[in-house]
Amino acid sequence: MSGNRTLLWDLDAAGGSAFLFDLEPTGSRLAEDVFSKEESPERLIQHTTIDGIDVLPADESLRALDTKLIQIGKRKRLAKLTAQLATDYDRIILDCPPVMNEVSAQVVRAADLVIVPLPPSPLSSRAFDLVVREIAGNTRKHPPILPVLSMLDLRRGLHREVLKEHPNWPAIPYASVVEQSAVRQQPVGAFAPQSPAAKQFALLWNAIERKLAERRK
């Protein structure tokens, strides 16, 4: 993470982000209470075994977060929370499900950059355009959007064609070490730092940093 203090905030009730770091929600405090009861998010943060990376885990209470945010009526609640956390972190990554609802709308309002994973198919461009239009239609001013090809298999002709069509899009390969990340519950860079997949993740992070630098100009 380029030496930055980084917080990964999991807003997906499935809790995949925390699982990948071998973490689970602890105690009786619910992730949804951060929004509905103004529970301090700092009290839910957990440290990982990776230096400089912390996680704010999700739990089942987030399944109703979309409805709860609409009831609360605070359209910038997440933006205020991330601004509060930014005093302790250089980068805050908000991981949310790939659907357009009040949760994702608040993510867009809070974000400096939106990262959109896409399958390497002939419909990738169309899917990306739809996402851009959907985001633009829900917010008057939205942050830059970075498309990322996911599970790219260069053995497949269609995948090669998509990469040729979008050579500047970061691409994460379909690789066994990426699958092993879930088995080992560690980032690829922690157990296979010299693998092609780890190098592609590094290139993705460089692309993210460039986009953020451009936004600050």
Residues 121 and 77 in one domain: no
Contact 29, 62 (CB under 8 A): no
Q: 95 φ, ψ to 5°?
A: -105, 115
Residues 54 and 123 in one domain: no
Residues 72 and 124 in one domain: no
Residues 1 and 97 in one domain: yes
| Among 91, 111, 131, residue at a domain's last position | 111
Residues 128 and 61 in one domain: no
* Domain range for 150: 113-217
Number of domains in the chain: 2
* Distance of alpha carbon 64 from alpha carbon 54, whole angstroms: 24
Exposure of 209 in the CB half-sphere (CA atoms within 13 A): 12
* Distance of alpha carbon 14 from alpha carbon 62, whole angstroms: 9
Contact 20, 187 (CB under 8 A): yes
pLDDT 10s digits, 84-97: 999 999 999 999 98
pLDDT 10s digits, 91-146: 999 999 888 899 999 999 999 999 999 999 988 888 889 888 888 876 677 899 99
| Among 51, 81, 111, residue at a domain's last position | 111
Q: Which CATH number goes with the domain that contains 172?
A: 3.40.50.300
| Nearest CA-CA partner of 172 in 156, 196, 155 | 196
pTM, 2 dp:
0.92
Residues 14 and 54 in one domain: yes
Token output for 110: 């809070």
pLDDT at 131: 86
| Among 75, 96, 111, residue at a domain's last position | 111
Q: At what angle do helices 102-110 and 124-138 cross, to 10 degrees?
A: 80
Residues 148 and 64 in one domain: no
Residues 169 and 214 in one domain: yes
Residues 135 and 180 in one domain: yes
